[in-house]
Amino acid sequence: MSNQAEAGYVVSHGRSKAFYERFERKSELQHQTHFCPGCGHGTVHKMLAQAIDELGIQDRTIMIGPVGCGVFTYYYFDVGNVQAAHGRAPAVATAMKRSRPESIVISYQGDGDLSAIGSAEILHAANRGEHISVIFVNNAIYSMTGGQFAPTTLLGQKSTTTPLGRSAKAEGYPLHISELLATLQAPVYIERVGLGDNKQVAQAARAVRRAVENQVRGLGFSLVEILSPCPTIWKMTPVESQHWVRDVMEKTFPLGVFCDRTREAQAQTAPAAAPPLERIPEILGVVGAAEPEFSATQARTAEVDLEVRIAGFGGQGVLLLGEVLAEAGLDAGLEVSWLPSYGPEMRSGTSNCHVRLSSAPIDSPLVSAPNMLIAMNEPSLRKFDASVRPGGWIIYNGDEFPPECMRKDVHVLAHPFTHLADELGDARACNMTMLGALLEIAGAVPQASIDAALHRLVRNPRWVELDERALERGRAVCRESMVEEVTR
């Protein structure tokens, strides 16, 4: 056809601008696609490219390529391109769209990719209502890997891994992704179209455009499932396979709109502006406070080396006790560490933590040989009493100290601390009475630091007040009570 013959004509249907002029990322045959003759992927690519052209979004578009025959979207589309792992494109798309809300993110996937290995990712992206457009090319088979069975393979359809044909008994029924996703509340648009004849092709082009346009309008999750021929694996001519889409495939996968909330959907509003950088430390609560006055004005008289193990039942406030002690130590200018036992122990049964306060840098935060043990009940005492360092202290919550736990080489303060807390009005303050006793014995931390720690860690003022009284009560008991000092 000569240029002369084209005089008086203008191009009405030609190569989309959204395609590269020449497919330079291909190693060879750079002027044509890698698809087999008659493959539906090429047709769908053209619809998508045309939609990108018409919507004027080429610069904003990010195409996410799948694993499968559609893997090379980046060979063809002159847009931002990202190639994803098998089935994961919706997860990749989720993050790209959330971080770049101005972009138009298109996840292009086949039926092995989307309905099998990526079934979780597509389900949850749809359920979260991610503002992405998904183009789902369903040819009822794994084509790239040579024709294995897919979740979408028709009953009776042969594949290399269902050589006798898919049976419902062995492989279950064809998976209806569009219908499945349409049960969710978040998606705004889900339609199944086909490439079975001219009319279907025209409808498919409209649906693809809508799916992309919905995103441009900020409406939400859109998915178009396209029944698409695979002449090579189906072992049919391109025309036969086109007819098979219409005459056979469509009977299993009826065409239609399964969800359309585009009218009621609210357009996505622009995300709130990020705070200025200067505000970030404040938001994180890491703005440095001045050093406490203590360290400047008050010299410590003695070296401190407290290795404390606190043990009790979950709910007795073991961890908080330790935290107040560590926080107070920090306030007093000491090196500190706090290490909890964690996990199921937190929910029930025993709980314990390791706390160290030291004038010197702390090597290990693990306290395997404490010089202070707070045992809030008998099982905790029995678990840890043998580990207490000679010359150390055991502070025990109980009416009487079990005689068989008596050691000649440790100090013991046994008292029903729970009763003290009860008298103060809440048995839960038992932990603070025991902390009071410990502080009275250790003397390492000034009262002001304890108060500061309490105020920092306990939000409810009523509790702060109760805890303060509990601490004082514990100290008093320690002073008054018969300290059962065992001679060495």
Partner 1 sequence: MTNTEKKDRGLLRIDTDECKGCGLCIEACPPKVIGLSERLNHYGYRTAVYAGHGCTGCGICFMVCPEPGAITVLRAVLPPSRQTSGLPHHDAEGASPCASN
Partner 2 sequence: MRKQLMKGNEAIVKSAILAGCRAFYGYPITPASEIAEAAAEYMPQAGGVFVQAESEVAAINMLYGAASAGVRCMTASSGPGISLMQEGISYMAGAELPCVIADITRGGPGLGNIAAEQGDYHQVVKGGGHGNYRTLVLAPDSVQEMADLTALAFELADRYRNPAVVLADGFVGQMMEPVEFPQAAAAPRQPTWAVTGTAETRANLITSLYLDPDELEAHQRGLEAKYRLAEQRETRAEEWSTEDAEIVLTGYGIVGRILKAVTSEARADGLKVGLLRPITLYPFPRAHFQRLARRARVFIVVEMSNGQLIEDVRLALNGARPVEFFSRVGGNVPSHQEVLALVREQARRMKRAQASGKEQMAHV
Binders in 45-64 for partner 1, by CB under 8 A: 45-47, 49
The option from partner 2, partner 1, none interacting with 206 (CB < 5 to 8 A, set by class) reads partner 1
Does residue number 74 form part of the binding site for partner 2 (CB under 8 A)? yes
b/e for 370-402, b at 16 or more Cβ within 10 A? Answer: bbbbbbbbeebbebbbeebbeebbbbbbbeebe
- 107 forms beta bridges with 64, 134
Whole-angstrom distance, CA of residue 259 vs CA of residue 186? 10
**Site residues (CB under 8 A) for partner 2, limited to 365-424:** 365-366, 368-369
Q: How far is the CB of 173 from partner 2 (least distance, A)?
A: 24
| Contact in structure between 392 and 372 (CB atoms under 8 Å) | yes
Angle among Cα 25, 26, 31 to the nearest 5 degrees reads 105
Q: How far is the CB of 402 from partner 2 (least distance, A)?
A: 25
Does residue number 452 form part of the binding site for partner 2 (CB under 8 A)? no
Does residue number 1 form part of the binding site for partner 1 (CB under 8 A)? yes
Whole-angstrom distance, CA of residue 137 vs CA of residue 328? 63
Does residue number 269 form part of the binding site for partner 1 (CB under 8 A)? no
Q: Contacting partner 1 (CB under 8 A), which of 167, 183, 237, 368?
A: 237
Does residue number 480 form part of the binding site for partner 2 (CB under 8 A)? no
Does residue number 251 form part of the binding site for partner 1 (CB under 8 A)? no
The stretch near partner 2 (CB under 8 A) out of 82-90, 204-212, 259-267, 415-423 is 82-90
The option from partner 2, partner 1, none interacting with 103 (CB < 5 to 8 A, set by class) reads partner 2
Q: How far is the CB of 196 from partner 1 (least distance, A)?
A: 9
List, as own/partner pairs, every contact residues 390-398 make where C-beta atoms lie below 8 angstroms and the sequence separation is at least 24, other chains included.
390/488, 391/488, 393/438, 393/441, 395/434, 395/437, 395/438, 395/441, 397/312, 397/430, 397/434
The stretch near partner 1 (CB under 8 A) out of 65-73, 237-245, 305-313, 334-342 is 237-245
**Site residues (CB under 8 A) for partner 2, limited to 217-276:** 272-275
Does residue number 10 form part of the binding site for partner 1 (CB under 8 A)? yes
Q: Which residues contact 271 (CB under 8 A, 6 or more apart)?
A: 101
| Contact in structure between 71 and 230 (CB atoms under 8 Å) | no
Whole-angstrom distance, CA of residue 375 vs CA of residue 16? 77
Whole-angstrom distance, CA of residue 225 vs CA of residue 195? 11
Whole-angstrom distance, CA of residue 421 vs CA of residue 481? 16
Q: Contacting partner 1 (CB under 8 A), which of 27, 37, 276, 343?
A: 37
The stretch near partner 2 (CB under 8 A) out of 72-80, 142-150, 155-163, 441-449 is 72-80
Q: How far is the CB of 431 from partner 2 (least distance, A)?
A: 17
Whole-angstrom distance, CA of residue 104 vs CA of residue 217? 10
Q: Which residues contact 253 (CB under 8 A, 6 or more apart)?
A: 138, 152, 174, 176, 178, 192, 225, 227
Distance of alpha carbon 350 from its chain centroid, rounded?
Answer: 30
Q: Contacting partner 1 (CB under 8 A), which of 26, 206, 382, 389?
A: 206
Whole-angstrom distance, CA of residue 337 vs CA of residue 131? 46
Q: Contacting partner 2 (CB under 8 A), which of 3, 32, 99, 460?
A: 99
| Contact in structure between 393 and 411 (CB atoms under 8 Å) | yes
Does residue number 246 form part of the binding site for partner 1 (CB under 8 A)? yes
The stretch near partner 2 (CB under 8 A) out of 163-171, 341-349, 407-415, 432-440 is 341-349
b/e for 91-126, b at 16 or more Cβ within 10 A? Answer: bbbbebbeeeeebbbbbbbbbbbbbbebbebbbebb
Whole-angstrom distance, CA of residue 460 vs CA of residue 439? 23
Does residue number 31 form part of the binding site for partner 1 (CB under 8 A)? yes
Does residue number 27 form part of the binding site for partner 1 (CB under 8 A)? no
The stretch near partner 2 (CB under 8 A) out of 43-51, 74-82, 404-412, 437-445 is 74-82
Whole-angstrom distance, CA of residue 130 vs CA of residue 98? 8
Q: How many residues line the site for partner 2 (CB under 8 A)?
A: 76
| Contact in structure between 468 and 452 (CB atoms under 8 Å) | no
Does residue number 126 form part of the binding site for partner 2 (CB under 8 A)? no
Does residue number 461 form part of the binding site for partner 1 (CB under 8 A)? no
The option from partner 1, partner 2, none interacting with 231 (CB < 5 to 8 A, set by class) reads partner 1
Does residue number 297 form part of the binding site for partner 1 (CB under 8 A)? no
Q: Which residue reads 């893997």 in tokens?
A: 71
Q: Closer CB to partner 2, residue 239 or residue 287?
A: 287
Q: How far is the CB of 336 from partner 2 (least distance, A)?
A: 6
Whole-angstrom distance, CA of residue 177 vs CA of residue 190? 10
Compute the CA torsion angle 456, 460, 462, 468 (nearest 10 deg). -20
Sign of the CA dihedral running 64, 66, 72, 77? negative
**Site residues (CB under 8 A) for partner 1, limited to 158-197:** 195, 197
**Site residues (CB under 8 A) for partner 2, limited to 280-339:** 280-281, 283-292, 323, 326-327, 330, 335-339
Q: How far is the CB of 201 from partner 1 (least distance, A)?
A: 5
Q: Closer CB to partner 2, residue 330 or residue 376?
A: 330
- Binding residues vs partner 1 (CB under 8 A): 1, 5-6, 8-16, 19, 29, 31-33, 35-43, 45-47, 49, 76, 195, 197-199, 201-203, 205-206, 231, 237-239, 242, 246
